[in-house]
Chains A and B, each alone.
Chain A
Amino acid sequence: MLWACLHFPLLPLETIARADREGAALVIVSAETRPCVAALNAAAGRAGVRSGMMLAAALALAPGLEVYPRRTAAEARALREIAQWSLQFSPSPSIEGDAALLIEIGAGIKLFGGLEAMLSAIRRRLPALGFSATLAVAPTPTAALMLARAGCARVLTEHALLRDALAALPVAVSGCDENSAQMLADLGVSTLGGLLALPRDGLARRFGQRLLATLDRALGRIPDPRLPFVAPEQFQVRIELPAPAWEVEALLFAFKRLLTGASGWLLGAGLGAMRLRLELIHESSPPSLLALNLSAPSRDAAHLGALVRERLERARLPGRVEAIGLVIEITAELAARDRSLLPGIEPAEEAQLIERLCARLGDEAVCAVRPRADHRPELAWRAERPALAHPGPLPPGPRPLWLLGQPQPLQQFLRATPAPVVLMDGPERIESGWWEGRDVRRDYFVARAHNGQTLWIFTRPGSAGSWYVHGIFS
């Protein structure tokens, strides 16, 4: 077993800031009567704000500073979102405390082609989610957690090295309570190495079994089972925007964060999304719900992002958006490696093209045409959803490449009276449809007009003189 621990030191800040495209100066304040800066982003740091500073002082330095209280519920939600995303690396991640995630990676190393490749995949894919983490690897989960909490991004694969590696870490990473920490500090013990050097029975008597058990788990002396995170059946996430937004770019930025998580969840489950629901929550009006249909299952975050962009650009929103949500309503199985055998053309790309067109122009905008067994020319074809259409039986006579939606009087079509045409072929009598009240009785001819056009015209038997254009031989 090999465990990776992701510790998120900036979770309170990033929970809020990840949906912010502009990266404005932003601080999280502690919930006290005289609030202090608990966490700050880079922009606030550049303005001179420091952690622990009084809020009033920080506002004096950076008047445009955006101030947020800590939202622990949102942090817990964010951590669950990260756990869902991490399903692509391990089937059973485990949430640890309020800012860390443990992933058993030993089983997946081969799949990713080596430990380094797997770790770099984690490091590479995490930023798109909007979080930054310390990634540490150790043979036991507790040791990985301790390393990550200490901000020590080490990769340890051997038990033998554990003791030396942990010895240098501060006592606080063991998760002991403040009293114990203070007592240990008074004893002159500041590192785990010092703690491990103390006699076991004395340690248990003074600080309780828990601390001792933690150390034993870290060193692999006793079993260290973890409660696996159970992914929900349906992917459903929501994120609050730092400031109500209206622009497509700002909304898209936040949606991309959620899509990254969705992509990881889908990959872990071996699924692709078929229908997404975008929820846009407004201040005063009811939420806007946008549906996004895919013609083939996909979990490509970039492709889904492009579809969301087109859909957002087409949407008419009643007001500013305060929060967004993403729900994957329908999924379909998608093999883990959907790459084509031959390099170059991705099979999914074909469906993606149709989806992109539909997302912007509407679902009805893209269609296929196919012949239909009917003698009446206007009913001898139909438009349908693009799919593998099988050609039906074909009519016997000459048929034009262009059909007019409505037959037009010949003179009106050619803008000439009398309309000079030369009949070249015909007549072809078409008489059908009397049984459903849309009967057609026409004699069709192929005719050449004075301007070089070849037309498909008809007249109704018995009504000499009135000619209609129904198609163009183009």
Chain B
Amino acid sequence: MSASLDALLAHSALWRGEDCARNVAAVPSEFGQLDACLPGGGWPQGALSELVAPHAGIGELALLMPACACLTRSGRWVIFIAPPHIPYAPALAHAGLDLSRLLLVRAESSEDRLWALEQVLRSQHCGAALAWPERIDARGMRRLQLACERGGSSGFLFRSKSAVLEPSTAALRLALTPADDGQLDIRILKRRGGLLARSIRVDVRVDRQL
């Protein structure tokens, strides 16, 4: 009896409400406190993540750099789709990225940007794609999600604060706010598994980027 009960409890489809999901594919963010709270111990792979920030330049990019560095070192692409500024090669190299695995895609219209994002996420060679979309409707999100699942890639969408109000199919949604001392406060708005009430403080300060 107890053996079959154990087997049932070990079943991955059974949610016991005590913790976030563990056995999902993820690439560690290498920020200890954050990884401890993320399902699988890192950024989800084969799924979308949304990062909501009040404005650019509070460390949202630095948050992704260790994971991106790890992905490029394992030979997968990290692709910036129409970034708002120039990703600065010396700083990226400092952050440990293998620049031969980094691609920049320029696209003018939001339609082209979404198309390019979907294309790269669909590729098995893409480790992570970073995009700054203004608006995505539910159908667009769904397409991106499917593309992630097919390629096993991580899609990172940097969203403005107003996007929080829209429903989302992303597997992970984080709200980022700058703390007084230059660290980053992260609230998990959505994740696979249970919710987390407290916020996490992560050190993404400049000295990490040296």
Our verdict on whether A and B bind, yes or no, reads yes
Interface residues of A (CB under 8 A from B): 344-345, 349-350, 353-354, 356-357, 360-361, 364-372, 380-383, 386-391, 394-395, 398-405, 424-425, 446, 448, 451-455, 471-474
A328 to chain B, nearest CB (A): 25
B130-182 residues with Cβ-Cβ distance < 8 A to A are: 177-179, 182
Contact status A357-B90, CB under 8 Å: no
> Do A403 and B88 form a contact, CB below 8 Å, given A383-B104, A473-B209?
yes
**What's the Cα separation between A361 and B182 when bound, in Å?**
38
Which residues of chain B from 114 to 137 have a CB within 8 Å of any chain A CB? Answer: 115-116, 119-120, 123-126
Q: How far is the CA of A183 from the CA of B202 in the complex (A)?
A: 99
Assuming the contacts A366-B104, A380-B89, asked whether A453 and B120 have C-beta atoms less than 8 A apart, the reply is no
A366 touches B57 (CB 8 A): no
Counting CB contacts under 8 A, is B92 at the interface? yes
Contact flag A353-B94 (CB < 8 Å), given A364-B106, A401-B88, A474-B58: no
Tell me the complex Cα distance, A405–B209, Å.
20
Which of B3-11, B95-103, B193-201 participates in binding chain A? B95-103
A391 interface neighbour in B99, B105, B107, B206, Cβ under 8 Å: B99
Q: Which residues of A contact B36 (CB under 8 A)?
A: none
Known: A353-B125, A448-B182. A474 touches B86 (CB 8 A): no
B62 contact set on A, CB distance < 8 A: 401, 473-474
Question: B87 contacts the other chain (Cβ, under 8 Å)?
Answer: yes
19 other contacts beyond A353-B120, A453-B57, A453-B178, with CB at 8 A cut-off?
A344-B124, A349-B124, A350-B123, A367-B103, A369-B102, A371-B93, A381-B86, A388-B100, A391-B99, A394-B90, A398-B206, A401-B91, A402-B84, A471-B91, A472-B56, A474-B57, A474-B59, A474-B60, A474-B62
Q: What are 29 A-B pairs with beta-carbon distances under 8 A? A: A345-B124, A357-B105, A361-B105, A361-B112, A366-B105, A369-B99, A370-B89, A371-B93, A381-B86, A394-B93, A399-B90, A399-B94, A401-B92, A402-B57, A402-B61, A402-B85, A402-B88, A403-B87, A404-B85, A405-B85, A446-B206, A451-B178, A454-B59, A454-B205, A455-B57, A471-B85, A472-B85, A473-B59, A473-B209
Choose one: B102, B115, B210; the contact of A368 (CB below 8 Å).
B102
Known A-B contacts A361-B112, A381-B89, A391-B99; the reply to A402 vs B125 at CB < 8 A is no
Any A CB within 8 A of the CB of B21: no
A451 in complex: contacting residue of B55, B65, B77, B102, CB < 8 Å: B55
Cα distance, A11 to B92, chains bound together (Å): 60
Please determine whether B206 and A454 come into contact, CB atoms closer than 8 angstroms.
yes
Q: Give B115's nearest chain A residue, CB to CB.
A: A360
| A400 close to B99 (CB less than 8 A) | no
Q: When the two chains form the complex, which single residue of B55, B92, B206 contacts A425, counting CB atoms closer than 8 Å?
A: B206
A405 to B86, CA, bound (A): 7
Q: Which residues of A contact B87 (CB under 8 A)?
A: 369, 401-403
A370 to B104, CA, bound (A): 11
Residue-wise, chain B 36-76 has the 8 Å CB interface mask toward A (1 for contact) of 00000000000000000011111111100100000000000
Q: How far is B89's CA from A343's CA once the two chains are assembled, in angstroms?
A: 34
Inter-subunit contact B206/A353 (CB<8 Å): no
Which residue of A has the minimal Cβ distance to B210? Answer: A398
Do A401 and B103 have beta carbons less than 8 Å apart?
A: no
Q: How long is the Cα–Cα vector from A243 to B65 in the complex, in angstroms?
A: 55
* Chain A residue with the shortest CB-CB distance to B107: A361
Contacts of B106 in A (CB 8 A): 361, 364-367
Give the distance to chain B from A286, nearest Cβ to Cβ, in Å.
Answer: 28
> Which B residues are CB-close (under 8 A) to A390?
100
CB-defined contacts of B86 to chain A, threshold 8 Å? 369, 381, 402-405
Cα–Cα, bound, A266→B97 (Å):
38
Instruction: Assess whether B57 is in contact with A473, with CB atoms less than 8 Å apart.
Output: yes
**A401: chain B residues within 8 A (beta carbon):** 61-62, 65, 87-88, 91-92, 95, 209
Expressed in whole angstroms, the minimum distance between the Cβ of B93 and any Cβ of chain A is 5
Residues of A within 8 A of B85 (CB): 402-405, 471-472
Instruction: List the B side residues contacting A403 at CB < 8 Å.
Output: 85-88
Q: How far is the CB of B15 from chain A (nearest CB, A)?
A: 30
Closest 6 CB pairs of A and B: A452-B178, A472-B57, A381-B89, A474-B61, A402-B85, A453-B57
Task: Write out the residue numbers on chain A whose beta carbons fall within 8 Å of the beta carbon of B92.
Answer: 369, 401
CA distance in complex: A56, B148 (Å): 59
Which residues of A have CB within 8 Å of B61? Answer: 401-402, 474
Complex contact B90–A380 (CB within 8 A): yes
B33 to chain A, nearest CB (A): 19
Q: Mark B181-193, 1 if CB is under 8 A from A, else 0.
A: 0100000000000
Minimal Cβ-Cβ distance residue in A for B122: A353
Distance in angstroms between the alpha carbons of A360 and B106 in the assembled complex: 11
Closest A residue to B80 by CB, please name it: A369
Q: From A350, which residue of chain B is reached at the shortest CB distance?
A: B125
Contact A402 B56 (CB under 8 A): yes
A457 to chain B, nearest CB (A): 12
Q: How far is the CB of A81 from chain B (nearest CB, A)?
A: 32
Say how far B108's CB is from chain A's closest CB, in angstroms. 8
Complex Cα distance A206/B69, Å? 87
* A36–B94 alpha-carbon span in the complex (Å): 78
Contacts of B107 in A (CB 8 A): 361, 365
CA of A380 to CA of B178, assembled, Å = 29
Report chain B residues within 8 Å CB of A344: 124
- A386–B77 Cα gap in the complex (Å)? 11
| Residues A394 and B94 in contact in the complex (CB < 8 Å), given A353-B120, A369-B87 | yes
User: In the complex, what distance in Å separates the CA atom of A350 from the CA atom of B122?
Assistant: 11
Question: What residue of chain A has the Cβ atom nearest to residue B109's Cβ?
Answer: A361
